[in-house]
Amino acid sequence: MPSSRLRIATINANGIRAAFRKGMGAWLDGRDVDILAIQEVRASSEDLQGLLGDEWDIVHDPATAKGRAGVAIASRHRASIHRVELGPSEFDSAGRWLEADYEVAGTVITVVSAYVHSGEAGTEKQTEKYRFLDAMEARLPELQKHNELAVVMGDLNVGHRTLDIRNWKGNVKRAGFLPEEREYFDRILGAEGDPAYNDGAGLGWVDIVRKHAGEVDGPYTWWSWRGKAFDNDTGWRIDYQLATPALAERVTGWSVDRAAAYDERWSDHTPVVVDYAL
């Protein structure tokens, strides 16, 4: 029987050096995280290791363009293998997709840190986003074949359902909530109204937070820095942990670590933390 707790967290740091200046280190020190997926690192591997400390084993895929994107996975366990390729060889996914395998308590778990493009409706940026989502959709079944215990997490930059965006009516024509984007999640998780939604529908992956939070607004993971968005909880739920069914069955706890106040935020996103029994 599974007996070892594995705490996995994901966070879009919005620049990890700035995040540490604002308090990310204090959050991490107090959360007893075993594996941490980071997006928008926007720093060198040396910077990352220096901020996190030598007790962390770090795999890092920086973006092709310096100072942009960048994904990493930091763990108390050493990665046995990691992979950064996604989709066609000519497709630049650098800084946006990083896979790693870890052996924990005799069990191998596959972890992905993903950062989907934000996109912009009607532009080449949106075309790139669709190319990335196409590659991701094609990779998910391969991941399941590779390991029945896998989790894809990060800033996926799509609100799947109306529950995931406070002001969804005002965003139906904006990147992040376009019908075409949401259809990818219909195919991955199942569509709203499908009796097997988030329980074997689509490609069978499970949205952990929605599964355990239930049919409620949010809980949101991103708020604009501008205005009163955070104070009014006018947010988007775009940061996910998507698990294979076998891993989803091992969830023992979860949290969306929303800051207590606006001035205590160290990113415009907030961590999503899930405990798994291995």
90 is in an annotated binding site: no
Give the pLDDT confidence of 215-264 residue by residue, as tens digits.
999 999 999 999 999 999 999 999 999 999 999 999 999 999 999 999 99
Quick one: pLDDT at residue 73?
A: 98
Give the pLDDT confidence of 95-144 residue by residue, as tens digits.
999 999 999 999 999 999 999 999 999 999 999 999 999 999 999 999 99
DSSP secondary structure string, 93-130?
-TTTEEEEEEEETTEEEEEEEEE-----TTSHHHHHHH
pLDDT band at 88 (very low <50, low <70, confident <90, very high): confident
130 is catalytic: no
Distant-in-sequence, close-in-space partners of 216: CB < 8 Å, separation ≥ 6: 163
Q: Which of 34, 60, 61, 115 is catalytic?
A: 115
Q: Report the alpha-carbon distance of residue 165 to residue 170 in Å, rounded.
A: 10
167 is in an annotated binding site: no
Other CB atoms within 10 A of residue 180 CB: 12
Quick one: pLDDT at residue 1?
A: 46
Q: Which domain holds residue 106?
A: 5-277
CATH of residue 92's domain is: 3.60.10.10
Q: Report the alpha-carbon distance of residue 75 to residue 217 in Å, rounded.
A: 31
115 is catalytic: yes
Q: Which of 34, 160, 269, 276 is catalytic?
A: 269
How many distinct structural domains can be found in the chain? Answer: 1
Other CB atoms within 10 A of residue 169 CB: 9
Give the pLDDT confidence of 170-193 residue by residue, as tens digits.
999 999 999 999 999 999 999 999
155 is in an annotated binding site: yes
DSSP secondary structure string, 129-178?
HHHHHHHHHHHHHHHHHH-SSEEEEEE-----SGGGBTTGGGGTTSTTS-
40 is in an annotated binding site: yes
57 is catalytic: no
For the ranges 32-46, 53-67, 83-97, the lowest mean pLDDT is seen at: 83-97
Q: Examine the pLDDT at 87 and tell me if it is beyond 90.
A: no
Q: Which of 129, 117, 154, 151 is nearest to 267 (CA)?
A: 154
268 is in an annotated binding site: yes
Q: Which of 34, 61, 101, 155 is catalytic?
A: 155
Pairing of strands 79-83, 71-75: unpaired
Give the pLDDT confidence of 11-47 residue by residue, as tens digits.
999 999 999 999 999 999 999 999 999 999 999 999 9
Q: Report the alpha-carbon distance of residue 171 to residue 152 in Å, rounded.
A: 25
